[in-house]
Structure 1
């Protein structure tokens, strides 16, 4: 039995499928820039993407976001996050800033592995 789209919940199969599709595109996009999230980062990113897909569908707003907290995010991470946010409808501009944190942290993996840190 198909669930009508107006009865979707954050855990509905269509939301999960859309989230998985977006995640696959994100991993491809990040891979083009040599950014590879580790297992924990992948879990956190998946959770955020699922919430983003849900907000895109439900229109649920983000809580207030202080953009000054994101001044340390690299232009690359923010640009990639803006691209991803553009794939979904009805998301706030601040969503890209929140998503960029995931990319920035994963970007640091490469730097720390190059330096021999763990």
Structure 2
């Protein structure tokens, strides 16, 4: 992830979640985990991740469930990306396990970036 400050666009996504402070916490957790894994996201990938995190926080609050996914389509996602995603989804209550797989794509794609 980039080392830049939180932008107005990022702040807007945090607010959209329904709990700006919680969304920012989840983002900072994901940023810390990415740093530990040496995952560097482009600005676009970072905004895409924050948008997804915002939606996850919103679903956690409203207890809305995502449509179940076929886990077979995630066989090419590394175990490390899955584990990273689980750490983040475990931070939020009321999410179904399928959220892990949807979130893992952000980390898996960013792993392809050249540092």
Query: Considering the TM-score relative to the shorter chain, is it more than 0.5?
Result: yes
Describe the SS at the equivalent of 2:16: coil
Cα drift, residue 42 of structure 1 = 0.4
Q: Does 1:15 align with 2:16?
A: no
Partner of 1:108: 112
Given the two structures, how large is their TM-score scaled by the length of structure 1?
0.80
Query: Which structure 1 residue ranges, 4+ long, deviate > 4 Å from structure 2?
Result: none
Structure 1 portions without partners, runs of 5+: 1-9
Cα drift, residue 36 of structure 1 = 1.3
Partner of 2:88: 84
Task: List aligned pairs for 1:6-45, cutoff 5 A.
Answer: 11=16, 15-45=19-49
CA distance in 2, matches of 1:64, 1:22: 23
CA distance in 1, matches of 2:84, 2:60: 18
Aligned-CA RMSD value? 1.5
CA distance in 1, matches of 2:75, 2:20: 32
Report the structure number with the largest CA radius of gyration: 1
Cα drift, residue 11 of structure 1 = 2.5
Cα drift, residue 83 of structure 1 = 0.8
Given the two structures, how large is their TM-score scaled by the length of structure 2?
0.82
